[in-house]
Amino acid sequence: MNLFGINLYAAGFALVTALFWGTYGPLLQIGHHGFKTADVPDPGRMRPFICVGFAYFVVAILGPIVVMYLFGHDKGNGLMSGWTFSGALWSFIAGAVGALGAFGLLMALSAGGVQSVAYVMPIVFGCAPMISTFVTMYRNNTWSQINPFFAAGLILIAVGAITVLTFAPKPPKGAAGHGKPTATSTEKPH
């Protein structure tokens, strides 16, 4: 099903992805602060990262197996057929890059504090499409197809990132900005 040359299923899945990835950073912050206790006021970022890894296992390994068997998607001659070294290698590299991106995001949120979600996420999701486009252009050798609208889009992304960084909500001067306490936390809000 298409509208103006756009596959509506692809656009729908892209919007769902944007919803999930758009809530990813704030949920990581909530998870990080959920680990705070009186004994561990700064739990670091590795516990949330371990939980992200476990979620990847459940969603990215068990989920597709269930979908393949229940709905027949990508089933072919069974789960163990159709594997190639090249496909597995590049898919593993993609997964490792994604996990490193999640790690980098956790470190950025940790370095910036609770308010950093307001500017870290726009930086990540403003730059990621540009990087993805450049990698795809390099891989497909389409540099000669750059047009003025593409250049205008790059300028808009840069202006948007600067605007978000400049005008992102910031805590009042002198406030620690640790957010709301969680049910397991003894921390008092500032």
Residue written as token pair 């269930």: 66
Task: Provide the pLDDT for residue 9.
Answer: 82
At 166, list the tokens: 């400049």
pTM of this prediction?
0.70
**Mean pLDDT of residues grouped by 10 in the chain (190 residues)?**
81 87 86 86 84 91 85 71 88 92 87 79 83 90 91 86 78 57 43
Q: Between vectors from CA 158 to CA 96 and to CA 168, what angle results, nearest 5°?
A: 90
Task: Provide the pLDDT for residue 181.
Answer: 44
Give the span between the Cα atoms of 154 and 165, in whole angstroms: 17
Domain boundaries, the chain: 1-36+43-74+88-114, 117-168
Task: Provide the pLDDT for residue 185.
Answer: 42
28 close to 101: Cβ distance less than 8 angstroms: no
